[in-house]
Amino acid sequence: MSGADIPAVHTLECRLFPVDAWPLQMFHDELAQAETRHYLVAEAAGEIVGYAGLMCIEPIADVQTIAVVPECEGRGIGSALLTELIAESRRRRAADVLLEVRADNPRAQQLYRRFGFEQIHVRPRYYRDGVDALIMRLQLPDSGLLAGPESTNATPDHLTATEADTP
């Protein structure tokens, strides 16, 4: 993700998370922290169809955001994004990857479980609309193997990943 991607990503953010959308400035602030952040976008037919972000302060990585437009769900884009976030967590020597997911989002929960994430906690009424957040963790073994399902079947044209080098 680059600074030039932020307007399109923010538009998607507001569409996909109308109650809890990040303010535009938050994306700029995140990209400005290259030493601890990693953001990427997925594109299909020249359009951004997904995005994801990671914060990593060794030994903990935290998935800050991950989203795919509904019309592209089921194509492996979320898996491709998550695979890259986990790979980046390993490169940054994280021992654990944490994330929060809405309790009313079983599709995302299923994706995370396929990657080996386990629920470790519940934050009651975490989201603005009162929905609980499930805290999930993936423990990364010391081996060089990347976590992930057997096959992601990802079909974005490409993923664009950058450490926040272009705020």
The pLDDT tens digits of the residues spanning 44-62 come to 999 999 999 999 999 999 9
CA 127 to chain CA centroid, nearest Å: 17
Q: Is residue 86 in a domain? A: yes
**Element (H or E) spanning 136, and its range?**
strand 133-139
| CATH code, 104 | 3.40.630.30
Q: Is residue 57 in a domain? A: yes
Q: How many domains does the chain have?
A: 1
Residue 36's Cβ-side half-sphere holds a number of Cα atoms within 13 Å equal to 12
Q: Is residue 152 in a domain? A: yes
Q: Which domain holds residue 74?
A: 3-162
Q: Is residue 167 in a domain? A: no
Dump pLDDT digits (tens) for 79-138: 999 999 999 999 999 999 999 999 999 999 999 999 999 999 999 999 999 999 999 999
**142 pLDDT higher than 60:** yes
Model pLDDT, residue 143 = 46
- Smallest CA-to-CA distance from 105 within 77, 134, 130 is with 134
* Rounded Cα gap, residues 95 and 120, in angstroms: 15
SS3 content of the chain, % helix, strand, coil (to 5): 30, 30, 40
* Rounded Cα gap, residues 120 and 117, in angstroms: 9
Q: What is the pTM of this model?
A: 0.85
Q: Is residue 144 in a domain? A: yes
Q: Is residue 157 in a domain? A: yes
Helix (H, G, I), strand (E, B) or coil at 108: helix
**2 pLDDT higher than 80:** yes
Q: Is the dihedral of CA 160, 31, 70, 149 positive or negative?
A: positive
Q: Is residue 26 in a domain? A: yes
Model pLDDT, residue 163 = 42
Q: Is residue 150 in a domain? A: yes
**165 pLDDT higher than 50:** no
Dump pLDDT digits (tens) for 4-29: 999 999 999 999 999 899 999 999 99
